[in-house]
Amino acid sequence: MKEIAVKVYDNDIEKAMRILKKKIQNDGLFKRLKLKKSYEKPSEFRRRKQREALRRERIAAARRSYRR
């Protein structure tokens, strides 16, 4: 696991909390916690993994076409 750290400047806790939330969201921790909260059937697991793979492929294809 990666360590997530945020520095607080001038006692601005609200800004530090926003930055921390954004880092956690980008890391995918919220998504993992949500998935672990309840049981996921094996068929749902496979379907979710396929959807994620298709999404990653679409994003990669869009990036490849954009760079040309």
- Going residue by residue through the chain, which has 68 residues, state the pLDDT in tens, using 9 for 90 and above: 678 899 999 999 999 999 999 999 998 888 888 889 999 999 999 999 999 999 999 999 999 988 76
Nearest to 2 by CA among 22, 23, 19: 23
Answer yes or no: do 43 and 61 share one domain.
yes
Domain that holds residue 67: 39-68
Per-state percent for the chain, helix, strand, coil, to nearest 5: 75, 0, 25
Answer yes or no: do 17 and 31 share one domain.
yes
Answer yes or no: do 5 and 23 share one domain.
yes
The overall pTM is greater than 0.95: no
Answer yes or no: do 54 and 24 share one domain.
no
